Amino acid sequence: MYSDQQLQELKKAYASGLTKIRLSSGDELSYRSLEEMERVIRNIEQQLNPAPKPRRMGYVMRVNKGL
């Protein structure tokens, strides 16, 4: 699981154009491209801030022939 601090460090490196970074935790990360890094950032953001699930709304149609 990622933390907000790790996400911010990754975004800072991305903005600088770096594909190899060392996090404050001591972990060293290396990405093949900035595009790969962008995908990872999006995935982390989705994990940290999941979108609320939409409410399911259902309708029941009732018909009366009047007989």
- pLDDT by residue (tens digit) across 39-58? 999 999 999 988 888 888 88
Determine, yes or no, domain membership for 42.
yes
pTM (whole model) above 0.85:
no
pLDDT for 44: 93
- Overall domain count for the chain: 1
Determine, yes or no, domain membership for 19.
yes
Boundaries of domain holding 17: 4-48
Name the average pLDDT for the chain: 89
Q: Among residues 20, 29, 23, which one has the least CA distance to residue 4?
A: 23
> Does the pLDDT of residue 17 top 80, yes or no?
yes
* 13: number of Cβ within 10 Å: 20
Determine, yes or no, domain membership for 54.
no
